[in-house]
Amino acid sequence: MFAPIYRPVRGKPTFSSKRSQVRKRKREADNEDSTDDEIIDLKSSPPPVSAPGPPQPAYHHAINRTDPYHVAGLSREDALPPAPFPHAATKAIKQLPSIEEEFDNLNPPLYVPKVAAEDQSQSLKRRHIDNLTTLLHTCTLRGDWERASRAWGLLLRTEVAGRGMDVRQQGRWGIGAELLMRRKAASDQQTKPSVSSTVPEDEDFIQESDTVNQPFSDEGFRLAREYYERLILQYPYTQYTRHTINAQVFYPALLNVWVYEVQHRSKRRRKLTAEQDQSLVSSSQASDDGSHSSDRRHVHEARRQELEEALPIARRMDELMVSPPYDSSVALLHLRGMVGLWVADLHASIANAAETEEESSDYGVDGDFDSAEAQRCRDRSDAERRKALVWLRKAKAAGSRLPNTVDTLLDADDRGGLE
């Protein structure tokens, strides 16, 4: 196919060429036993005389337009292109992507490469994002949750090089839930001033100074839980996302917010009933014993409502931790054990209230508390405590650091001295 186009032109036969032909024929004749007469005739035959004409060049330089080199536009001095030439056009060598580009092409991307500094529009967007981030943190530190929510919304809508902000990176997902819980409470506080009052001494959990100044509302808790539920559905745990931030990280945050919501609502309920009892005592000039019994009654009623709201959390965790990888999650094991101890304490508190107030007229007439209910609450408390200790042992074996009080309970149960 790629034969040279420059071929030598046949010229006039010379004496040396004729002599070589004669010798060749002589060797053939000897092999075939030919006669010497034929050889002599060939030697004595005169050379043919060619017609006179113009002198011919040594090589013919005519261009063959069907030659592959000519069709491809290449010179004979150049090397042939690599495959698939000549069956297809020459393709440019594709450069392999860098490691950063491979990570960026994943879904979700594991690494977002930096934008080139010469791109002025991208540089302005990044400066805008830096200003919004500074404004967000400043408003958060000052307690201006309304402006912080607006800055957060602008950050979520800003795109750089066609990519939006990934809320999973650098712990941004926690900022959204905090703003949802605080924003509604901040708007309620602006419309209604807070009332300062005393809190009963037995409410030793959830002792936070900022709870009174910045209260949380039920609507804010609901929005925060819905926010985590959407994140769980948007970023589930799969084989390809097991090394990223996924539902395994969002579930403990969702359950913690749920527990805090129930405890905060119970504290607020007991606080409100305590204010009402104080107003009634001051108006009717009741005795101290009557006021203390009324306080205890309202506290126990609040405990019962708190137990009713805490049981769905325990059931949700039991359903979740049936299948992997949630059954071996250290955070969920620890949290499930602590929720079990919390539910056991609520059952024990109701049982103690039933035993203490069994003979009281306030409870004996209504029939809300009796010895049978006290025994049922005591049995449920023991069962929940045993289940909680099982979860806590698993968490400790998985490497979780438990509080000293929990370690004491585990040691006492191992020795058989836990009542």
Q: Could you state, in chain order, the average pLDDT of each consecutive group of 10 residues for the chain (419 residues)? A: 50 62 68 53 53 52 72 75 70 70 80 58 80 92 91 89 83 90 66 45 41 67 93 91 90 94 87 71 54 64 88 94 91 94 91 69 50 83 91 89 84 69
Whose tokens are 């791109």? That residue is 119
Q: Which of 191, 194, 187 is CA-nearest to residue 143? A: 187
Q: What pTM did the predictor assign?
A: 0.61
Please tell me the predicted confidence (pLDDT) of residue 257: 94
Residue 52 identity: P
Distance CA 183, CA 185 (A): 5
Three-state DSSP class for 168? coil
Whose tokens are 């402006």? That residue is 147
Of all helices (H) and strands (E), which one includes residue 134?
Answer: helix 120-142
CB 253 within 8 A of CB 228: yes
Please tell me the predicted confidence (pLDDT) of residue 400: 86
Give the bridge partners for 163, in sequence order: 160
Q: Cβ–Cβ contacts within 10 Å for residue 136, how many?
A: 21
Q: Cβ–Cβ contacts within 10 Å for residue 292, how many?
A: 11
CB 321 within 8 A of CB 332: yes
Q: Which of 213, 224, 127, 220 is CA-nearest to residue 175? A: 224
Residues 357-365: contacts with CB within 8 Å, 24+ apart? 357/293, 357/296, 357/297, 357/300, 360/293, 362/293, 362/297, 363/297
Q: How far apart are the first and last CA of the chain?
A: 98
Please tell me the predicted confidence (pLDDT) of residue 418: 53
Please tell me the predicted confidence (pLDDT) of residue 340: 93
Distance CA 389, CA 383 (A): 10
Please tell me the predicted confidence (pLDDT) of residue 59: 47
Q: Cβ–Cβ contacts within 10 Å for residue 294, how many?
A: 19
| Contacts (Cβ under 8 Å, ≥6 apart) of 165 | 129, 155, 156, 158, 172
Q: Counting runs of H as helices and runs of E as strands, what totals does the chain give?
A: 15, 0
| Contacts (Cβ under 8 Å, ≥6 apart) of 314 | 336, 339, 340, 343
